[in-house]
Amino acid sequence: MSLRLPQTAAASLAILALCGSCASAEKPQQPREAAEPIAVRPAATPAPASAPIPPPAPERPFFAYQGELEQGGWIRGLVPSNTRTALLGGQEVEFAEDGSFFAAFDRDQGPQIELVATLDDGGTVSRTLTIAPRDWDLEYVNVPYRAGRSSAEFRRLREGEIAQIVAARAQETGAEGWRQDFIWPATGRISGRFGSQRVYQGKPGPYHSGLDIAQPTGTPYKAPADGVVTLVAQDPFTLEGKLLMIDHGMGLNSAFLHSATIVVREGQRVRQGQYLGTIGATGRATGPHLHWSLKWRDSRLDPLLFLGPMPD
């Protein structure tokens, strides 16, 4: 099942793709219903035996896309006509029957990345994307980096937890949330930004992998886009606590950490805006907040680049 992008949207995507700076400035468009083709024929002509054949879709010899071309950002668009396979920097880019695709850029993505399509006739179409660097929030501290102490018991538990997370991310559900403009799962004070990092005497520690929204325990949160539930950890994980993971399709998925409660179950299809659970402080958390991570394949993404301004 797939939505068709109307020709007008396809045309505007094509124009944007030719102008790198406009492409990143433009806000994403929601796909709209394609208008029915109108058959025009002289009145005197007798009705044909079968329905009129719509004109063939115009050939698209290049990638058409728009989005946020910066570290932690993403693009949506259309692959060239007759594309057999597509790659972004060596990672597979899946596309729908109508040629629509989604791809994204890791937090540490370099200044350029190649988008390549291999066509049915063996030819290739490639485009070099310029990815704007981000001014990540770095905090320099004059103490040596110390990884948290871990007991044999912790390592044993952690191995099992990570295996479940990896298995959840590997699921392909056919969800279509990747086509949507995302909404805020909860609103509130932003208590942690994606990508922020401490640097210990010159040695960078791990960076913050999601967006933190602080709210009291028990505050409900909702699905930012359509998806399928791939993991519900009702027994809190050591770090993530009660963890919920949702696949949005095409390799894009969300994780919600530290929940107090989760009200959906694995395998359940959820709609954008659907109530998923409540905010809490389970796992490793200093206070109640929703930690929301987004990943596309191996790339970690900035949820803020998927959202409009926070609603009141």
Nearer to Zn ion, 24 or 278 (CB): 278
**86 versus 231: smaller Cβ distance to Zn ion:** 231
What's the closest the beta carbon of residue 189 comes to Zn ion, in angstroms?
A: 13
* SS3 annotation, the chain: CCCCCCHHHHHHHHHHHCCHHHHHHCCCCCCCCCCCCCCCCCCCCCCCCCCCCCCCCCCCCCCEEEEECECCCEEEEECCCCEEEEEECCEECCECCCCEEEEECCCCCCCEEEEEEEECCCCEEEEEEECECCCCCEEEECCCCCCCCCCHHHHHHHHHHHHHHHHHHHCCCCCCHHHCCCCCCCCCEEEECCCCEEEECCEECCCCCCEEEECCCCCEEECCCCEEEEEEEEEEECCCEEEEEEEEECCEEEEEEEECEECCCCCCEECCCCEEEECECCCCCCCCEEEEEEEECCEEECHHHHCCCCCC
Q: Which CB, 210 or 241, lies closer to Zn ion?
A: 210
Closest contact distance (angstroms) between CB of 260 and Zn ion is 16
Nearer to Zn ion by C-beta: 74 or 256?
Answer: 256
Min dist CB 283 to Zn ion, Å, is 10
Please state the closest distance from residue 258 (CB atom) to Zn ion, in A. Answer: 8
| Nearest to Zn ion of 248, 291 (CB atom) | 291
Please state the closest distance from residue 177 (CB atom) to Zn ion, in A: 22
Please say which residue, 188 or 192, places its beta carbon nearer to Zn ion: 192
Q: In the complex, which residues of this chain contact Zn ion (CB under 5 A)?
A: 192, 210, 212, 291
Cβ of residue 245: shortest distance to Zn ion, in angstroms?
15
